[in-house]
Amino acid sequence: MGRARGGRAGRNSQQTRRYRRREGGHWRTVESGTGKWAAHALVNLLHILQWGDNDLDRVREAYRRAVQTGNPDAPHGLICIGQMLKDRGNAEGAHAAFEQARADGADDELIPEGF
């Protein structure tokens, strides 16, 4: 029995293509460093990379680019890095990332209890 058109596999590949298009637009906006849209795009990009791709290296790269362009939401990158390290069992690395996020002005409500 064949899979009907538009089945689960089709939706997943369509969703992946949509994420890739959005991701590219978010990278360009983050790198532009202009206004509130760059800050908004950074948070969206970080969530795509963290929750969609689970790609710690690319989250770190997005954070570095945000710092270079003076993005006001750059500390959110450290929070994502800390969450990913925590989820991978690296409590020491997570603690360091969360402490740096605090020092850089991140909202304490976004940092998990105990860190």
- Give, for all 115 residues of the chain, the pLDDT tens digit: 443 444 334 445 554 455 555 555 565 666 666 667 777 778 888 988 888 888 999 999 999 988 988 888 899 999 999 999 999 999 999 999 999 999 999 988 989 888 8
List the structure tokens of 23: 């991701």
| Model pLDDT, residue 4 | 41
Assigned domain for 2 exists: no
List the structure tokens of 80: 């994502």
Give strand ranges (E) for the chain: none
Number of domains forming the structure of the chain: 1
CB-based contacts of 58, cutoff 8 Å, min separation 6 = 49
Assigned domain for 115 exists: no
| Model pLDDT, residue 37 | 72
Residue at token pair 């959005």: 22
The pTM for the full model equals 0.72
| Model pLDDT, residue 3 | 38
Assigned domain for 80 exists: yes
List the structure tokens of 21: 């298009």
| Residue 96 near residue 61, CB atoms below 8 Å | no
The CATH number of the domain where 89 resides is what? 1.25.40.10
| Model pLDDT, residue 80 | 95
Assigned domain for 26 exists: yes
Assigned domain for 1 exists: no
Assigned domain for 41 exists: yes
- Say how far apart CA 10 and CA 5 lie, in whole Å: 7
Assigned domain for 3 exists: no
By residue range, what is the domain housing residue 58? Answer: 8-110
| Model pLDDT, residue 45 | 85
